[in-house]
Structure 1
């Protein structure tokens, strides 16, 4: 089953793309709640390149590496990847004047309920929007 989350960001596409792909920015938005963090991110944004983003509870009680390989990269428009568990992810960036819609579709995993997966990925995307919009000026 595929799940889609999206948001619209009031910022130029170049800024949105940079903040989505730069490790120094990923560590500031890649978590679903304030009790989590992303202390480390590695990102090689090209077909065949890989990514590894460490996600941890701030209290140290749990953590995991979110990893995968990029399949297709069209700068400022599209990123597709395959996660380390073989699930597919696609991220579409659509511009309309100074607004960018980021639409992320991913294959659900079998461990957590669909609603929890959707809300978690949406919360991360909402953090991304907040991070970009707080730096656009």
Structure 2
């Protein structure tokens, strides 16, 4: 296993929606607010400049009223192919890179999401904290959103 693989956690999904719809769900703030964050959270868009070098910042409110801040800067965007960004999910996760890859599959979209951590140890810690369940819940919400 390569060193980068030791630092990366990934999820794959096939969404029952065309790639253009899934892409818009990821790139338009009014759509992001509808699905970003695990079930039970509400998301408010604070900043969203969808361009390389552009910053994004979202506030996620838990049912108990506590708030988490997610932010980052877009590093690379290729329309209908991928979005790569730095990311922090304070206070749980900081200093990671998120990568979202999109591939058209007829009227469906194959999707791969990866989070690259600064160290293998941090990656293992994040996995043990519930990475798969947390992001799995987020992408369940995205699937429901694009399936409407």
Q: TM-score if structure 1 supplies the norm length?
A: 0.87
Residue 39 of structure 1 deviates from its aligned partner by 2.7
Distance 2:71 2:37 in 1: 14
CA contact (8 A) 1:27 1:41 kept: no
- Do structure 1's residue 124 and structure 2's residue 130 form an aligned pair? no
Residue 107 of structure 1 deviates from its aligned partner by 2.5
Q: SS of the residue aligned with 1:125? A: helix
Residue range with higher mean Cα deviation, 91-100 or 2-11: 2-11
* Structure 1 gap ranges (5+): none
CA contact (8 A) 2:74 2:85 kept: yes
Residue deviations 1:45-91 (CA, integer Å, cap 9, x gap): 2110111111111331x211100001000011101111143311111
Residue matched to 2:103: 94
Query: What is the alpha-carbon root mean square deviation over aligned residues?
Result: 1.9
Pairing partner for 1:4 from 7, 10, 29: 10
Distance 1:87 1:39 in 2: 21
- Do structure 1's residue 56 and structure 2's residue 69 form an aligned pair? no
Structure with the higher fraction of residues in helix conformation? 2
CA contact (8 A) 2:44 2:59 kept: yes
Change in Cα spacing, 1:46 to 1:40, as seen in structure 2 (3 Å) is closer
Pairing partner for 2:86 from 82, 89, 96: 82
Q: How many residues of Structure 1 are paired with residues of Structure 2 in the alignment? A: 132
- Do structure 1's residue 33 and structure 2's residue 46 form an aligned pair? no
Distance 1:113 1:13 in 2: 29
Deviant stretches of 4+, over 3 Å: 108-113
Residue matched to 1:107: 116
